[in-house]
Amino acid sequence: MKTLYFKLLPAAKFFPDPRRDGIDMLAAYGDELRIWEGSEREIIKSFVDYFSKYDPDRIIGFKQDYEDFPYLLERAKKYDIELNLGKGEKKIESSGKYFRGIILKRTKIPGRENIDLFSVAWRDFPRLPTKELDELADALGIRFERIPQFRLMERSKEERKEYLKKYLDILMKVADELIPFQESLSQLCGVPLEEQVRMTVGELVDVIVVREMKKRGIKELRIGGKGWYEGGYVWLKAPGVYENVVYLDFQSMYPSIIKAWNISPETVNMQDGEEVEIEGTKYRIIKDVKGVIPSIIEDFLKRRLEIKQKLKERYDKKLDSQQRAIKVITNAMYGYMGWNGATYYNRYAAQLIASLARFYIKEVKKIIQEMGGDVIYVDTDGIQFTGGNVDEVMEKINGSFPLNIEVERVAEKAVYWAKKKYVHLSNGKIEAVGLEYIRKDYPPIVKKAQREIIEALIRGDVDKARDIRIQYRNMIKNGEVPIEELATVEQLTKKPEEYEKATKASVAAKLLREKFGVELHRGSYLYIVIVKGAGGPTYRARPMELVSPEEVDREYYLKLYDETIKRTFEPFNVSISRRWF
**77 inside domain:** yes
Helix axes 444-458, 462-477, angle to 10 degrees: 170
440-464 per-position pLDDT tens digit: 789 999 999 999 999 999 999 999 9
Polymer length in residues for the chain: 581
Q: How confident is the model at residue 129 (pLDDT cuts 50, 70, 90)?
A: confident
The string of DSSP letters for 205-265 reads HHHHHHHHHHHTTPPPEEES-S-------EEES-SEEEEEEEEEEEETHHHHHHHHHT--T
**Same domain membership, residue 541 and residue 568:** no
**What mean pLDDT comes out for the span 141-151?**
93
**Same domain membership, residue 317 and residue 244:** yes
Angstrom distance (rounded) from CA 257 to CA 272 = 21
**Same domain membership, residue 447 and residue 417:** no
Q: What is the DSSP letter of 273?
A: P
Residues 6+ apart with CB under 8 A from 168: 5, 6, 7, 27, 28, 29, 33
Looking at residue 191, its amino acid is: V
Q: What is the pLDDT of residue 53?
A: 95
Q: What is the pLDDT of residue 209?
A: 97
**242 inside domain:** yes
Query: Are the C-beta atoms of residues 109 and 85 closer than 8 Å to each other?
Result: yes
**580 inside domain:** no
Q: What is the pLDDT of residue 96?
A: 64
Residue 580 has pLDDT above 70, yes or no: no
Angstrom distance (rounded) from CA 460 to CA 146 = 33
Q: What is the pLDDT of residue 373?
A: 95
pLDDT above 70 covers what percent of the chain?
Answer: 98
Q: Per 3-state DSSP, what percentage of the chain is helix, strand, and coil (rounded to 5)?
A: 45, 20, 30
Q: How many domains does the chain have?
A: 4
**Same domain membership, residue 562 and residue 492:** no
Q: Is the dihedral of CA 568, 569, 570, 573 positive or negative?
A: positive
Q: How confident is the model at residue 23 (pLDDT cuts 50, 70, 90)?
A: very high
CATH number of the CATH domain containing 515:
3.40.1820.20
**581 inside domain:** no
> Of the residues 137, 168, 196, which one is the last residue of a structural domain?
196
Q: How confident is the model at residue 130 (pLDDT cuts 50, 70, 90)?
A: confident
Q: What is the pLDDT of residue 493?
A: 83
The listed range with the strongest mean pLDDT (252-256, 491-495, 553-557) is 553-557
Query: Are the C-beta atoms of residues 107 and 93 closer than 8 Å to each other?
Result: yes
Angstrom distance (rounded) from CA 269 to CA 351 = 11
Angstrom distance (rounded) from CA 425 to CA 436 = 17
Q: What is the DSSP letter of 552?
A: B
Domain range for 181 is 3-196
**Same domain membership, residue 45 and residue 156:** yes
**579 inside domain:** no
**234 inside domain:** yes
Q: Is 262 left (phi over 0), alpha (psi -120 to 50) or beta?
A: left
φ and ψ at residue 18, rounded to 5 degrees: -65, -15
294-331 per-position pLDDT tens digit: 999 999 999 999 999 999 999 999 999 999 999 999 99
**Same domain membership, residue 497 and residue 424:** no
329-361 per-position pLDDT tens digit: 999 999 999 999 999 999 999 999 999 999 999
Pairing of strands 58-61, 3-10: parallel
Angstrom distance (rounded) from CA 438 to CA 434 = 7
Looking at residue 281, its amino acid is: T
**Same domain membership, residue 475 and residue 385:** no
Mark 470-498 as b/e (b = at least 16 C-beta within 10 Å).
eebbebbeeeebebbbbbbbbbbeeebee
**Same domain membership, residue 95 and residue 11:** yes
Residue 226 has pLDDT above 70, yes or no: yes
Alpha carbon distances (Å) from 98 to 107, 143, 335, 371: 15, 31, 20, 51
pLDDT above 90 covers what percent of the chain?
Answer: 82
483-510 per-position pLDDT tens digit: 999 999 888 888 888 888 999 999 999 9
Query: Are the C-beta atoms of residues 112 and 85 closer than 8 Å to each other?
Result: yes
Q: What is the pLDDT of residue 464?
A: 95
Angstrom distance (rounded) from CA 470 to CA 562 = 10
**Same domain membership, residue 395 and residue 317:** yes
**Same domain membership, residue 336 and residue 416:** yes
**Same domain membership, residue 71 and residue 142:** yes
**What order of strands is seen across the sheet that includes strand 488-491?**
488-491, 525-530, 541-543
Query: Are the C-beta atoms of residues 311 and 319 closer than 8 Å to each other?
Result: yes
**Same domain membership, residue 259 and residue 383:** yes
**577 inside domain:** no
Alpha carbon distances (Å) from 365 to 244, 255, 370, 413: 17, 21, 9, 21
94-127 per-position pLDDT tens digit: 876 555 555 667 899 999 999 999 999 989 998 8
**397 inside domain:** yes
CATH number of the CATH domain containing 78:
3.30.420.10
> Of the residues 196, 219, 249, which one is the last residue of a structural domain?
196
